[in-house]
Amino acid sequence: MSELHLPWLELSVLIPIFGAIVTARLKNAGYSRLVCLVSCTATLLLTLGEWVDFVALKSFAAHDHWDVLAMMFQDQIFVIDELNAPLLPLAALLCLLTVLSTLRTKQRRFAFHWMLISEAILLATLSCRNAWGIVLLLVAAVFPVWLELRQRGRTTQVFTFHMALFVAALFIGQALVDLGYLFAGGAFLTFAGLLRTGIVPLHCWMTDLFEKASFGTALLFVAPMTGAYAMMRLVLPIAPEWALQSIAIVSLITAVYAGGMALVQTEARRFFCYLFLSHSSLVLVGLELATPIGLTGGLCVWLSVGLALGGFGLTLRCVEARTGQIDLKRYHGLYENMPTLAAFFLLTGLASIGFPGTIGFIGTELLIEGAVDVYPLVGMAVVVAAALNGIAILQAYFKIFTGTRHHESFCLRSRFAEKVAVMILTVLIIGGGLYPQLGVASRYHAASELLRDRSDQLNFKQKSRTAFNTNLNHDH
């Protein structure tokens, strides 16, 4: 395996941990925000550095230089490959933008140190290729969110119930896989992955989380789609084709259902949650199709949805920070008060549904093409889900930004830091839309390698099983 020029992966996990320790000791919320901002920026630069370094190596996978974890565990724990290379900067960017768009008035209520801990766990999960490592990190990611819910004095039963099922299924599944019971183990792991992604009917924890946790925490818990990552690492290599395609159909049903549910929501957070659910299910559809085009589409949409809906969620959070909880039953008339946020809300929303000229367009086309290839009629449901999401997005835009003008007591326009966040995402969304070839080619290469890897592993397991049966016959 190739070696990176610096220990980028380990540093990108260590920096947020160090930042969290410093932030936890600070009493002043302003300084905490500053330290958090610096840590997140440094982490983003490190993840970008590792991506550039990895691309320059022209290899499918690489590990850190001076790999301390490999020395300790005698195994490559943190590995960068075609799958996670762009996901790491995406996750770091979302964390940075969340901090950047946190208003000063809200900084006392936002737990910066827990956010940094969550970022470290998230980046470690996305860097990890070891199955048990992923299982443990996925479990660890649950605790900061659970603690925040407790600190806010909200009931944690729904979250606890679902996450307990998730943790149990993960542990049982991986243990069964290790013992050689691939089918049963795969089924448990699939159940865990679907629950973490929020597939119907295992999704109710997500709406509950968005209602009870802070918007930033809930967004960072779901937006990087670690459930889908777990499916890719733990389920894709061992699952037979029919199982993957069954998961794709369940995901497709979720995509349509969540798209429809987004239409009838009367509260902005729940609306966002269903919108996200619909899109993350579409990503899962692409990932589980197990065809080069479908998988490429899934990987492209993963990135575009991460960026677009991440930006969409942050915009909603910025509006909510100014107006309080957003009721979608009435028109708020906020366009004149915050035109930049209105334009960005629309841009990110349209990018998420794959509107032409935005980053999601080609990914969605590939995804639909892949789905139709495998299931000519059922695959059309992707188009239906996209149409429902499109209607829901414009409906929310109209409810929030149009109507009788809201007369503010002071200027509600976006602040400098928010404008910076908006501009960064706009450049990425439009830039990725106008020049998609680079991203698509890279994702196609990743998809091909993942499918080759999967076929190698399935062949190897088949051969082992045949050899085992032959030996058994000889013994008889």
Cα–Cα nearest to 378, from 256, 472, 271, 461:
256
Distance CA(40)–CA(31), nearest Å, equals 14
User: Residue 50 or residue 208: which is nearer to other proteins going by CB?
Assistant: 208
- As measured in angstroms, the least distance from the Cβ of 257 to other proteins is 8
Region binding other proteins by CB under 8 A among candidate stretches 80-88, 125-133, 156-164, 221-229: 156-164
CA distances from 80 to 83, 116, 227, 345, 363 (A): 8, 21, 18, 33, 23
Q: Could you tell me where the DSSP H helices lie in 77-156?
A: 87-100, 112-127, 131-151
Q: Using CB under 8 A, which of 23, 125, 296, 352 touches other proteins? A: 296
The answer to whether residue 204 forms part of the interface with other proteins (CB under 8 A) is yes
Going residue by residue from 337 to 376, which x/- string records binding to other proteins, judged by CB under 8 A? --xx--xx--x--x----xxx----x--xx-xx--xx--x
Q: Which listed range, 23-31, 117-125, 233-241, 410-418, lies at the site for other proteins (CB under 8 A)?
A: 410-418
Using the minimum distance from each CB to other proteins, give the nearer residue, 68 or 383.
383
Q: What count of residues does the chain have?
A: 476
Instruction: Say if CB 24 and CB 113 are below 8 A apart.
Output: yes
From candidates 249, 398, 415, 417, binder to other proteins by CB under 8 A: 398
User: What end-to-end distance do the CA atoms of the chain give, in Å?
Assistant: 42
CA distances from residue 128 to 17, 61, 132, 312, 457 in whole angstroms, order as listed: 17, 12, 9, 28, 19
Nearer to other proteins, 296 or 304 (CB): 296
Q: How far is CA 246 from CA 2, 240, 255, in A?
A: 36, 10, 14
Instruction: Output the smallest distance, CB 28 to other proteins, in A.
Output: 19
Q: Counting contacts by CB under 8 A, is residue 380 touching other proteins?
A: yes
Binding residue for other proteins (CB under 8 A) from 448, 451, 453, 458? Answer: 448
323 near other proteins, judged by CB under 8 A:
yes
HSE toward the beta carbon, residue 400, CA cutoff 13 A = 31
Does 271 bind other proteins (CB under 8 A)? Our answer is no
Q: Which is nearer to other proteins, 18 or 331 (CB)?
A: 331
Q: If binding is defined by CB under 8 A, does position 409 make contact with other proteins?
A: yes
Check binding of 431 to other proteins (CB under 8 A). no
Question: x/- binding map, residues 111-140, to other proteins, per CB under 8 A?
Answer: ------------------------------
Which among 100, 144, 101, 136 has a CA at the least distance from the CA of 119?
A: 144
Q: Of the ranges 62-70, 116-124, 246-254, 379-387, which one interacts with other proteins (CB under 8 A)?
A: 379-387
Q: Is 453 in the site for other proteins (CB under 8 A)?
A: no
Distance in angstroms (rounded) separating the CA atoms of residues 96 and 45: 11
Amino acid at 117: I
**Smallest distance, other proteins to C-beta of residue 398, A:** 5
Binding-site size, other proteins (CB under 8 A): 79
User: Between 292-323 and 416-434, two packed helices, what is the crossing angle to 10 degrees?
Assistant: 160
Stretch of 18-26, 39-47, 391-399, 461-469 lying at the interface with other proteins (CB under 8 A)? 391-399
For residue 376, cis peptide bond before it (omega within 30 degrees of 0): no
